[in-house]
Structure 1
Amino acid sequence: MSTVVVYKSKYGSAKRYAEWIAEELGADLRNADETEVKDLAPYDTVIYGAGIYIGCIAGIALIANNFRQLKNKSVIVFTVGVTDPEEKRRTEDLLLKNFTPEMMKKIRVFHLRGALDYNKLGLVYKLMMKKEKIEEVDEVRKEELLPLFAYLDSPKTKTVAPILPAEGSTKIYDTPRLTIETRHVHLPNGKDRNYLFVQPVPAVCILPTDEEHVYLIRQYRAVINEYILEVPAGGMDHAGETPLQCAKRELAEEARFSAKEFVPRGHIYSTPGFCTEKLWLFEARGLNPCEDCARDEDEIIDVVQVKKNEVFGMIARGEIVDAKTIALLTRVLAKVNTD
């Protein structure tokens, strides 16, 4: 699936979000001021992002005025503003003002919080913000994009039809946390094959950090009968839980920390040859002890402080062998000097 991310940015927030989206998806990135509808023709998915000014999405004419040429594509719009994304009334008013009912059925819209620096605002906008008692926001945060990334990962947004259980599929094991079954699959190349599908709930991994250290856990794993160093991690097995909510819970339960900031570090698939498990990655900053947090009875865990400049040496020597831990450490520390 080919994707382009188009942005129109006045103060920089929409551009920053667009850069993060393009990086995560491996998509092309374009400035709306240098883009015409003909430039969007080669793409299956068009993601447009811009700020909101007096109820209007900046530059949205590129999408709205050319909707008929885009309606066979997947179109996603993200807006950037200073209002709370959970204020549904304002969001609904915004949609009604910028899109026709036909467009609203087709276009998926996400509202993101933008940075707000009063020193950069003109007098009119400054007075409006103060009247609404809207506080300054130092910088945009990547975790705002998690609902958008989750939507893009949904089977409904894939260009290849999702693989569904076919006649003859056999369920071997079924619990709320894990399902195992065999399926007869029709592949994109026209071939048919039987596959084993191992389907655990999605999970999160969290790397707690401070200026000089990372914090791992030394945990006993009964399946391999060893203690190994890992990042805190766990499944999203609480009803309605988001990746961020799960990350906060698992950090408290396993590492006995709370954190002021959770920085999204993308995702990985643990073993895609037979397993659907998706792991959301986070870095936790601004740590505070949480000594009264409860652990599961089967978790035998000690927290281990490791200097950042020693991590890759430990990986090279085989002292850290857990794959998800190595992946997250690499995402966070790849630019840290390891000399």
Structure 2
Amino acid sequence: MSEQDTPQRHVVVVFDGHEAGARTYAEWLAEETGGAIGTVDEAADPVGPLSGDLLVADTVIVVTALGADGALGGATFVLDNWDYLQDFGRRVAIAVVGMSQVFDYDRLRAIEKTIDAEKMTQLKFFQLRGKLDTASLGMRDKIALRAQVAALKARPKRTPEEQAMLDNGGNFDFTHRKSLRPLLRWVREES
């Protein structure tokens, strides 16, 4: 199918403004799709900058992080606006930004604490690797990260990513534009 044959999608990309990796991916998605972009708070505002775009959107992508407590930051926007997002056959995807590049059973169970199983079947989920800047962490998270770095230093064999994390003082950036390919295929209905 050529690009001329591909129907133009009206895409809105919403991101959790507290997660640096989410912002990066959201910006790339907006560039790739020509979609509107804004934070979860902007999208939730009925007269905010995204209100007109959300009205005509046929595809909504929420880019968010999975918290240590299992909370999915942008899920509140999806749940609070569930009926509206389901109107007119809108397609909704949640791109979860985190350390791992794949979903595992524990992560899915944590998400089910936020979004019930029935609604999960109506959403499309993608996993994207994120980034971490230790300067943005709270004291408790910094202590946990120091313990993780100490454990990594003690290991005789490390992956290149683990070594890069040590070399950068615990900071890392695993964001990569190419990892958006499956999500972009879904947006373009190629998958």
- TM-score normalised to the size of structure 2? 0.71
Gaps of 5+ in 1: 157-339
Aligned to 1:100: 116
CA distance in 2, matches of 1:44, 1:154: 12
Q: Does 1:56 align with 2:65?
A: no
Give the direction of change, closer, same or farther, for the CA distance of 1:151–1:59 in structure 2 (3 Å limit). closer
Q: Give, in angstroms, the shift of residue 4 of structure 1.
A: 0.6
- Deviation readout 1:42-90 (Å, 9 max, x if unpaired): 21111111222222111421101221221231001111122x1225123
Match in the other structure for 2:178: 143
Higher alpha-carbon deviation: 19-28 or 141-150:
141-150
1:43 equivalent in alignment to 2:73: no
Matched residue SS, 2:132: coil
Larger helix share, 1 or 2: 2
Q: Where does 1:199-238 land on structure 2 (aligned, <5 Å)? A: none
Alpha-carbon contact 1:81-1:114 (below 8 Å) kept: yes
* Matched residue type, 2:20: G
* Aligned partner letter, 1:18: A
Name the one with the larger strand percent.
Answer: 1
TM-score normalised to the size of structure 1? 0.42
Equivalents in 1 of 2:72, 2:147: separation in Å?
21
Matched-pair contact (CA < 8 Å) for 2:75–2:115: no
Q: Tell me which residue corresponds to 1:12.
A: 20
**Counterpart residue number, 1:70:** 85
What SS class does the counterpart of residue 56 from structure 2 fall into?
coil
- Which residues of 2 match residues 67-216 of structure 1 at below 5 A? 67-71=82-86, 72-82=89-99, 84-131=100-147, 135=165, 136-138=171-173, 140-155=175-190
Residue 168 of structure 2 is matched in structure 1 by none
Tell me if structure 1 keeps the 8 A contact 2:19–2:64: no
SS of residue paired to 1:35:
helix
**Whole-angstrom distance in 2 between the partners of 1:44 and 1:104:** 18
Letter in 1 for 2:185: A
Query: Per-residue deviation at 1:29?
Result: 0.9
1:126-152 Cα deviation digits (max 9, x unpaired) = 233445567431352112212212222
Classify the secondary structure of the residue corresponding to 1:126. helix
1:164-313 correspondence runs (5 A): none
Shift of residue 117, structure 1, vs aligned partner = 2.3
Q: CA, structure 1 residues 18+69, in 2 after alignment: closer, same or farther (shift >3 Å)?
A: same
% of aligned pairs identical?
Answer: 27
Q: CA deviation at 1:153?
A: 3.0
C-alpha change, 1:97 and 1:62, in structure 2 (3 Å) is same
- Alignment check: 8 A CA contact 1:37 1:62 kept: no
Structure 1 counterpart SS, 2:18:
coil
Deviations 1:228-248 (A, max 9, x none): xxxxxxxxxxxxxxxxxxxxx
Whichever residue aligns with residue 50 of structure 1, its letter is T
- Alpha-carbon distance in 2 for matches of 1:153, 1:9: 25
- Change over 3 Å in CA distance of 1:66–1:11 after alignment to 2: closer
Whole-Å separation in 2 of the counterparts to 1:12 and 1:140: 10
Aligned to 1:273: none
Deviations 1:194-244 (A, max 9, x none): xxxxxxxxxxxxxxxxxxxxxxxxxxxxxxxxxxxxxxxxxxxxxxxxxxx
Q: Secondary structure at the match of 2:126?
A: strand
CA RMSD of aligned residues (A): 2.2
The CA deviation at 1:6 is: 0.8
Structure exhibiting the larger radius of gyration computed from Cα positions: 1
